[in-house]
Structure 1
Amino acid sequence: MAIISLSRIVAHWAAIQPDRVAVDHEGEQRTWQQLETRTNRLARAYAELGVKENDFVTIALANGVEFFEACFATWKLGATPQPVSARLPKFERDQIIELGKPALVVGVSDGEYAPIPSIPTGFTPEPSLSDALLPEKTATSFKAMTSGGSTGRPKLIVSRIPAEWDPEVPFLEIRNQGAMLVPGPLYHNGPFLWAMIALFKGATVAVTTRFDAEQTLERIETLKIDTAYMVPTMMRRIWALPEEVRNARDLSSLKALWHLAAPCPPWLKEAFIDWLGAEVIWELYGGTEGQGSTTIQGTEWLTHRGSVGRPVETCEMKIVGEDGETVPPGEVGEVFMRPLAGQGTSYYYLGADIREIEGGWESLGDMGWMDAEGYLYLTDRRSDMIVVGGANIYPAEVEAAIDSFPGVRSSAVIGLPDEDMGATLHAIVDVPEGALNEGALMAHLNEKLVRYKLPRTIEVVTEPLRDDAGKSRRKALREARLPAGVS
């Protein structure tokens, strides 16, 4: 099969399997034929609002059928979807709109970003608009994802992969015309990528509004899911179910369970391997930028316990010491990677600079080591980024919101260990007067930060948290608050 433009890929599968379910959101379904005609009409509505080839369309919709329809309508005009959280506070969304300058914002009230047009959740195109096939147009970028930034401001990671796909090319163990389950938020890169590529390959994609452990197992059984996307927090919650509940469902259809986005405790991974089979469990390490990644199947992991795998065939990796030299196997350093096609071939940033060294090598900020066989083992992060339940949170972003509250002189946000989420956000707030209205502060933060970036605990101090150079002592602050024996 040849490469197909994403403006035509739904039509391709609608011709082959018109009555098969393309998308399932907790029972609300669209067949391939329905997805084709509905997105043709929706694309024409977007075009009337001014969307043109290679424009960005900001999509602020929750998980559901409407999210997928908005993305495919965007691709049908040769434009690029730019997803954001439907619950993103206006303050943060405004920064993204300013950065991306989209042609349309989907999922907000009409006129909110005038003169940029916007349409609300539940928008319905005029019935008079045609649902016939549109002219083929292919965007130069198939996605533009949002990420927090170490400066406290968001950035866009714009893919350099054009909006086209070859359904026959093997990718992430996703089966052609199979069944995929994605219980994570679609505005995050991992869930977005797994869900969309499954659709590109003609699979049925099931999504949920939010993760629920029992519902996940029910969906796997009922829809005969063969591939699933998870983060370790989801796996922990499944494992916390009573054994009789966990084993009550028939999961024999599951051929690949991917976990990524955060470190997975070895005991948990081993438990899933024992439960579902080593050949079913897969792990991926990489970033939204797509410069490089590693993968490992459970069968390999058992002989390389703790590894995140070897670099995929499209990239190379090396471990760099503090002196900038490549270190030998077994020695810890910073993990650098680059695509074999050359630096800058997988993405570009809007609103941030690339962290790279000579030769086009880039880092995601992780520390680790490689064994003699080329398997990568991660040890820590060089950056201050905190991973909570698979979501990346930059302390500077949260601190900027806290520091804008009246009476706060400075703040430091650290991650403390959490059995369920991997880490929990703890805010240390410097208030010279010594009194802080925590309820008012949280109300203030609710207006500026999406829910998962809100601190779970707050500690008030009266001494400055930054040195004369304005640097926060996050590492020392965190170590002082860790239980004995925890690092």
Structure 2
Amino acid sequence: MTFLPDDGFPLSEIPGAYATELGDTVVVRAGTETLTWTALHHGSNRLARGLLAAGTAAGDLVTLLLPNSTDLILAVFACYKAGVTPQVLSPRMTPAELDAILELGAPSVVVTEADGALGDRAGAVTVDSLGAGRSDGNLDARLAPSWKAPTSGGSTGRPKIILSGRPAVSSGFDSGMWGIEPGEQALITAPLHHNAPFVTALSAIFLGGSVTLLTRFDAERTLSAIDEYDVSWVYLVPTMMRRIMALPDEVRRQYSLATLRSVWHCAEPCPVWLKRKWIEWLGAERIWELYGGTEAEAGCTLRGDEWLEHVGSVGQVTWGEMKLVDPDGAEIVQPDVSGEVHMRVTPGTDATYRYIGAEPTVRDGWSSLGDMGRFDSDGYLYLLDRRSDMITVGGVNVYPAEIEAALVEHEQVLTAVVIGLPDPDTGNRLHAIVHTPQEAGVTADGVRAFLEGRLSPHKQPKSIELVHDSLRDAAGKVRRSELRARRMAAPTR
């Protein structure tokens, strides 16, 4: 492989450049489907013409309601060739959730599965219909002003879109951040509508690698795919790591994992016991962790051997700048004193993101994602409780305000508070405390039925507790931490 894109190379030109050299090489596989570089180049040309014919204009968002698949990668590159920004969303979203995000982003086209739950939406098109009868010849060069547009539920219960500050051009930033090398054989185990899987899958492709997308997570299939496809780089979240480690020893020993160079995890805290087991199994040099927000202003990375010297840390700051701030806004400079983590890009660097639907929490040029932490004397960061109320369940960030807003739509629900309680599988489980009048006769099953269709499955509370006394104190405040502490001390619910 002689071609590698320089920084600033248009992403729209990536498929054609590699097709010349690696035409019959598989660039993406998902389930039983494979896609070569030649097929990616010509197929994305057809789809791009379909997007342009549908009325897209430079700078638009195009929403891709597609699961992990070769079609999804085709559609992403079609967006780049049409000069628009791909916005990958979960096809399992409820109509209400989807409507809120579409209202924010106002996409010019929504691409969905023909047989998907949302396939009959007005104005939605399929990959097949977009490309039908279109030429696969090259198009005039176009450049989208942003290369990705992940979404977040938002701490207010309303969604926001996080537009990347980088246009649709190549950059060594993401691949360097994740330790992805040219020609990488990458295995992506999570849906691409999450930011980290999207970034890592696309970064491997930009560098001429091959990406295997799991269409659903399976612990043993993850191991067999590593051996089958000579995988060198893997993305996991700790929930997946738990499930792999729960496999019988004799099952895990069936797979050599000889080609595996690095395993990266992020998205949720990794328990110390679990990380130790992975280090003992695969070796410290292969286990990596990344901490940072989708906004990508700053972040930390950490290899397993460093972690053994700083157990529980998420690493040193490796890009951008971070500092800790006390409740009065003063910077904390002493080691091992906790504060709120604030970040900013390296001075003189362009902005890494722009919100649609929200405003960042910024103080004197430093922004906060609501995390609390401390630095040790060597500059390693340790995360503590989140200042915000966000709950991470199986590597997915869930905002209680969104669930609480759905609960209080019930006419007999006076107040609702959603907290996270420990779960051995997903790290946290969602527990809803629901205040209703005793005479209303509301049941937990009735509340669950009410939430169906209003929230995606991963946002549904796993347990519902009905109470008939106010959840607010004398000052009218909900003390979420106190509610959680009492339930942590009580018998298991």
Answer yes or no: same fold by TM over 0.5: yes
Q: For 1:79-94, list aligned pairs within 5 A.
A: 79-94=84-99
Q: For 1:83-482, list aligned pairs within 5 A.
A: 83-107=88-112, 112-113=121-122, 117-120=123-126, 123-166=128-171, 170-312=176-318, 314-327=319-332, 328-341=334-347, 345-358=351-364, 360-432=365-437, 433-467=439-473, 471-482=477-488
1:483 offset after TM fit, Å? 3.7
1:351 offset after TM fit, Å? 0.9
**CA, structure 1 residues 189+456, in 2 after alignment: closer, same or farther (shift >3 Å)?**
same
AA at the equivalent of 2:43: R
CA contact 2:313–2:381 (8 Å) conserved in 1: yes
Aligned residue for 1:317, secondary structure, equals strand
CA deviation string 1:138-181 (max 9, x = no partner)? 11110111101121111111110111114697442212112100
Q: Distance in 2 between matches of 1:290 and 1:6?
A: 20
CA contact 1:57–1:74 (8 Å) conserved in 2: yes
Q: More displaced, 32-41 or 318-327? A: 318-327
1:303 offset after TM fit, Å? 1.1
| Aligned-pair Cα RMSD in Å | 1.9
CA contact 1:167–1:200 (8 Å) conserved in 2: no
1:16 offset after TM fit, Å? 1.6
Q: Distance in 1 between matches of 2:186 and 2:316?
A: 25
Aligned residue for 2:254, secondary structure, equals coil
Q: In structure 2, what is the equivalent of residue 54 of structure 1?
A: 59
Aligned residue for 1:124, secondary structure, equals helix
CA contact 2:324–2:373 (8 Å) conserved in 1: yes
**How many residues end up aligned between the 2 structures?**
480
CA contact 2:443–2:466 (8 Å) conserved in 1: no
1:78 offset after TM fit, Å? 1.1
Q: More displaced, 439-448 or 53-62? A: 439-448
Aligned residue for 2:121, secondary structure, equals coil
Q: Normalising to structure 2: TM-score of the pair? A: 0.93
AA at the equivalent of 1:429: V
Q: In structure 1, what is the equivalent of residue 6 of structure 2?
A: 2
5+ residue gaps, structure 1? none
AA at the equivalent of 1:426: H
1:253 offset after TM fit, Å? 0.6
AA at the equivalent of 1:252: A
Q: Distance in 1 between matches of 2:256 and 2:391?
A: 36
Q: Distance in 1 between matches of 2:382 and 2:90?
A: 32
CA contact 1:80–1:142 (8 Å) conserved in 2: yes
Q: Distance in 2 between matches of 1:485 and 1:286?
A: 35
1:472 offset after TM fit, Å? 2.4
CA contact 1:356–1:363 (8 Å) conserved in 2: yes
CA deviation string 1:405-453 (max 9, x = no partner)? 2311111111001111010000111111352243343233221111111
1:124 offset after TM fit, Å? 3.5
Q: Normalising to structure 1: TM-score of the pair? A: 0.95
CA contact 1:343–1:361 (8 Å) conserved in 2: no
Aligned residue for 1:81, secondary structure, equals strand
CA contact 1:59–1:83 (8 Å) conserved in 2: yes
- Choose between structure 1 and 2: higher helix proportion: 2
1:466 offset after TM fit, Å? 3.4
Q: Distance in 2 between matches of 1:339 and 1:75?
A: 26
Q: Distance in 1 between matches of 2:208 and 2:470?
A: 56
**CA, structure 1 residues 477+342, in 2 after alignment: closer, same or farther (shift >3 Å)?**
farther
CA deviation string 1:297-329 (max 9, x = no partner)? 1121111111101111x3111111122112211
Q: Distance in 2 between matches of 1:224 and 1:331?
A: 44
1:398 offset after TM fit, Å? 0.2
Q: More displaced, 468-477 or 144-153? A: 468-477
5+ residue gaps, structure 2? none
Aligned residue for 1:106, secondary structure, equals strand
Aligned residue for 1:291, secondary structure, equals coil
Q: Distance in 2 between matches of 1:110 and 1:241?
A: 37
- Give percent identity, aligned residues only: 46
**CA, structure 1 residues 341+132, in 2 after alignment: closer, same or farther (shift >3 Å)?**
farther
Q: Distance in 2 between matches of 1:63 and 1:243?
A: 29
Q: Distance in 1 between matches of 2:94 and 2:101?
A: 11
1:208 offset after TM fit, Å? 1.0
**CA, structure 1 residues 237+156, in 2 after alignment: closer, same or farther (shift >3 Å)?**
same
